[in-house]
Structure 1
Amino acid sequence: FSKGVNQKGLQAGKFIGAIAKICGGGGGGRPNLAQAGGKDGSKLGEALDSALEQLLEGLQ
């Protein structure tokens, strides 16, 4: 995430960790850069929908 996004309260590490849990995985990182993995690929669509929703809410 950019500094501007971080200033709105979104942090990449926390964000991706929450999204990865939907797929039975985990993740983390720094406020501006993160990575994750998951075990249940069938839940990828749900995870992406959740990510979009959280991003849109956080960027308002």
Structure 2
Amino acid sequence: MMALVWVIDLVVTIVKILGGRTEVNPVLRFGMWIAVLCAFVLGLAAVAGLVVLLNHWLSTL
């Protein structure tokens, strides 16, 4: 349960940094935005891959 609190605290801190409410180095903020965008693109690619696999599996039935 304590791990969940730590994860929520980490997410809140990251959102504050990305939103500009916490003063950090602009390079760090830019890098964090790049990381968030890369994670989003990776998620989209994973979903697309799963859809292709589902299509392949359904076509073999």
Shared topology, TM-score over 0.5?
Answer: no
In terms of Rg, which structure is larger?
2
TM-score normalised by the chain length of structure 2: 0.38
Q: Which has the higher helix share?
A: 2
Higher relative contact order (CA 8 A, sep 6+): 1
TM-score normalised by the chain length of structure 1: 0.39
